[in-house]
Structure 1
Amino acid sequence: DYVLRLQLRHMGRGNSGVLLRMTGPDKVWPRSIEAQGQFHSMGDIWNIDEFPMKVDPDRTRGRHTVKLHPTNEKDVGGWNEYEIYLNKGDLRIYVNGLLQNVGTDCWHTPGKICLQSEGSPTEFRNIILLPIKN
């Protein structure tokens, strides 16, 4: 259970993300929750490999749950703040201080945190992981 804070910026209109509670074999798209980092899609959630969790069905198509509000990202080259709370089964994703997505009943299992980038360079900095005391 933790709060993950980081900054990321896109150097082009590529794709990136933060995989949470990654479990199972090391493979492309391991079982996890992805806090989407794709340009203009930060705050979306991707459920990868049927990770057990609940999201708003009205904003979900298949494995993809769109964010709550219009994009509030900075343009290419600007630094964005990502703050992700994952406490037991509750997930909250903030982009530049605005709550953009929530999940509940997330599988409470230990797992890795993975940073992902494809299509064009994405830079990450100021990565801080803080435990949540329950």
Structure 2
Amino acid sequence: MFATRPFRNGLIALAVALAGPASALSGDEPKGEPSLLENDPKGWIDMLTGAGPELEGWVRGPIPGTAELPEKSPWSFDKATSSLICDGSNSHEWLRLDQVLTDYVLHVEWRFEKVAGKKGYNSGVYVRTSSDQKLWHQAQCGDGSGGYLFGETMSNYASKPFDLSKEVRDRRVKPAGEWNTYELTCRGREVTLWVNGAVTCVMKPCPVPRGYIGVESEGYRIEFRNIRVKML
């Protein structure tokens, strides 16, 4: 049985608030700071413990505008390494935790499988995302690139795209084959992205107060481990 099932009782309905545009953090950021998980390992929930080969507690979903979900899932759980693996098939989809969350810190470690001659590695980590992905907030994962927030958020009763990539000054994502650590802190009307030792950007305000967390499959083999949540 999925270890966090008691935690998932009474799912909260997704709601949105009205607000203005997102913005990135300005100025120099601290370098080489330990993650929140390293600083205080107590109180975190491992979202993969007990998931098993069927990934109980997780739900596949299509990306809007893409083909229907293939019957064969690209997702699997490697018990030996406690890793969630996307096999790199051509399916473009996401895998979400079957629980609406509000204020929390999401800790995720990830790496692409390096393939000789391969380029354009692409994936992402989602927070405060609706089940139909009409509203989504993603931390971009790439090959020595990414480490920024972008997506579709709510503004004046309609969805509105946002992209903080040009405002990130500190490129901290490691190349394919190496492990990266992301921590996304969702607190009130703010989402902060921490990458490999430092904050890279902050979305403030974030008009969407709650939603799903998840990870993306976009044609590249990628592993995720230590997917942990600490409620705030």
**What is the CA–CA distance in structure 2 between the aligned matches of 1:125 and 1:72, rounded to whole Å?**
19
Amino acid at match of 2:124: G
Indicate yes or no: 2:112 matched with 1:10: yes
Following TM superposition, the consecutive aligned residue runs of length 4 or more in structure 1 with deviations greater than 3 angstroms are none
Amino acid at match of 2:206: C
Which has the bigger relative contact order, CA under 8 A and spacing at least 6? 1
Task: Choose the corresponding residue for 1:37, options 117, 137, 141.
Answer: 141
TM-score by length of 1: 0.78
Unaligned ranges ≥5, structure 2: 1-102, 156-160
**What is the CA–CA distance in structure 2 between the aligned matches of 1:131 and 1:78, rounded to whole Å?**
28
**How far off is 1:119 after superposition?**
2.9
Amino acid at match of 2:142: Q
If you compute each CA radius of gyration, which structure gives the higher value, 1 or 2? 2
Q: Deviations over 1:33-63 (max 9, x none)?
A: 1111122333211122xx137xxxxxxxx63
Amino acid at match of 1:15: N
Unaligned ranges ≥5, structure 1: 54-61
Tell me, yes or no, if the aligned pair for 1:88 and 1:108 is still in contact at 8 Å. Answer: no
Amino acid at match of 1:129: V
Indicate yes or no: 2:212 matched with 1:112: yes
**How far off is 1:24 after superposition?**
4.9
Question: What is the RMSD of the two structures over their aligned residues, measured on CA atoms?
Answer: 1.9
Match of 1:130 in 2: 230
Number of residue pairs aligned between Structure 1 and Structure 2? 119
Indicate yes or no: 2:182 matched with 1:82: yes
**What is the CA–CA distance in structure 2 between the aligned matches of 1:68 and 1:78, rounded to whole Å?**
21
**What is the CA–CA distance in structure 2 between the aligned matches of 1:24 and 1:77, rounded to whole Å?**
31
**How far off is 1:30 after superposition?**
3.4
Q: Percent of aligned pairs with the same residue?
A: 29
Match of 2:199 in 1: 99
Match of 1:63 in 2: 162
Amino acid at match of 1:5: H
Match of 2:100 in 1: none
**What is the CA–CA distance in structure 1 between the aligned matches of 2:175 and 2:145, rounded to whole Å?**
12
Amino acid at match of 1:4: L
Match of 2:126 in 1: 19
Tell me, yes or no, if the aligned pair for 1:4 and 1:85 is still in contact at 8 Å. Answer: yes
The SS at the match of 1:84 is: strand
